[in-house]
A and B are shown apart, each in its own frame.
Chain A
Amino acid sequence: MTEIKRTSLYQSHLAMGARMAPFGGWSMPIAYGSQIGEHHCVRRHAGMFDVSHMTIVDVSGARAQAFLGYTLANDVTKLGAAPAAAPRALYSCMLREDGGVLDDLIAYGLAQNQFRLVVNAATRDKDLAWLTRQASAYAVTVEERDDLAMIAVQGPAAVPEFVRCAFDGAAASSLKPFTAMRLGEWLVARTGYTGVDGLEIMLPAAEAPALWQALATQGVAACGLGARDTLRLEAGLNLYGQDMDESVTPLECGLGWTVAFTFGRNFVGREALERQQAAGPGVSQFGLILRGRGVLRSGCEVVTNAGQGLVTSGSFSPTLGCSIGLARLPQGARGRCEVSIRGHTHSARIVAPPFVRNGKIRVELD
């Protein structure tokens, strides 16, 4: 039996009264009090998340760029020559030969021949096995950095709050979105999973409690996985394992924009995707809003003008005050649709995500 893992912030979470639950092999905080309250803190000011359960993998070697050029669907040459001072970040899928999504991840160009990948927690074993297998042909080193913790600080005040407590952290204010900087042994990236400004800080695990405590003392709200899910859903961001899995291609789950069909670059899954693109994927990812008294849930059947589909992710949007979801529906689906929830039919409206971006509601509420 695999033992459940604890991050270096485990005791901090208990001390704050967090409700813990197993997630992807880790004991993680779901909420510390009201998860809706935590969600509002992020939208209105700043909240912090322990995301140390994510898998951090460093890839290095003379052919590291070529290796990632082959294994990732997005093009890591977009990370530029990657001078060590201004690393960039890139969101990408990692595919199977048949185009199915193995995982979604963020790739950072740390230096010449040195990259960092942040992949999901639940897919750790699968991803490491896959990367290690592919790596042998390129003679690159694939090293899991389980010595690092990760804290995400998100919200309109996230960057100023971090700058206030991080020694020498002032440069974080001038980070462009999707770029990163080194702060001693820390890597500070202007990235996030909430659709609002913020930072994700990768740091030695032993140093995480002090940063967490410093932020807490300044009044940054501790937020759990419950709020993380409602925030990312409002932002229209996919969750691997729900919105897509190995049986779904990027074209079918709204991630076609992350696939770079660069001339002359062969990557795993390219051929299958090109075939699908030529034939037309048949399904696509849409947003749903349910204004009535019900909550969309993963797996609910959806009947649209263009045929039947499925809710892939559903929850309650604290910002909109009603239920929202992402759904895989036939191409051409639009207008109102009917969703089956717990044996009852509810009327919902098909919209284009995101639902909320940078604090503003981006969809029409009827």
Chain B
Amino acid sequence: MSEIPSELKYTKDHEWVREADDGSWVVGITDHAQTALGDLVFVELPEVDAELSAGDACAVVESVKAASDVYSPLSGVIAETNAALNDAPELVNSDPYGDGWLFRIRPGSPAELEELLTSEDYERLLVELDD
């Protein structure tokens, strides 16, 4: 079973979300997602200050195998993106919950946070996918 840190929130599209100290939220893709994708070779990130709605395709992770869209878990404004991924996309594979983070978003709609999955919800989702 892939790694699913209990303190994070998740989406059904295999993204994780973590609250930063300043109230913005850091977003990445899960261990399950990076394993399924295989070695990443390019990551396209949103522009800083871009305004997004929850569910918008806002990034692309491209592995040797295929390109995949990443959807914004929340509505809001992009505060920062992980520049290290330009030259080292493999960080998403080696450290998906740490150095492989994708972007940080300032959420515009606190109610959306309630709709995110807990780690137990996400684990259940993965078990169902396996069947």
* A interface residues with partner B (beta carbon < 8 Å): 19, 30-31, 34-36, 226, 230, 293-295, 297, 315-316, 323, 342
Contact = CB atoms under 8 A, between A and B. Distances in A.
B38 A295 contact: no
A242 to B, nearest CB: 14
Tell me the dominant secondary structure on chain A's binding face. mixed
Given A293-B44, A295-B67, A342-B67, A35 B39 contact: yes
B33 interface: no
Contacts of A297: 66
B39 A295 contact: no
Given A295-B62, A342-B67, A316 B41 contact: yes
A55 to B, nearest CB: 25
A31 B67 contact: no
A61 to B, nearest CB: 44
B109 interface: no
A230 B64 contact: yes
Contacts of A294: 42, 62
B84 to A, nearest CB: 15
A34 B62 contact: no
State the 5 A-B residue pairs at the shortest beta-carbon distance, nearest first: A36-B39, A316-B41, A316-B64, A293-B42, A34-B39
Interface in B49-75: 62, 64-67
Contact of B38 (A226, A293, A323): A226
Given A30-B38, A295-B41, 13 more contacts: A31-B38, A34-B39, A34-B93, A35-B38, A36-B64, A226-B64, A230-B64, A293-B44, A294-B42, A295-B42, A295-B67, A315-B64, A316-B41
21 contacts: A19-B38, A30-B38, A31-B38, A34-B39, A34-B93, A35-B38, A35-B64, A36-B39, A226-B38, A226-B64, A226-B65, A293-B44, A294-B42, A294-B62, A295-B42, A297-B66, A315-B64, A316-B41, A316-B64, A323-B41, A342-B67
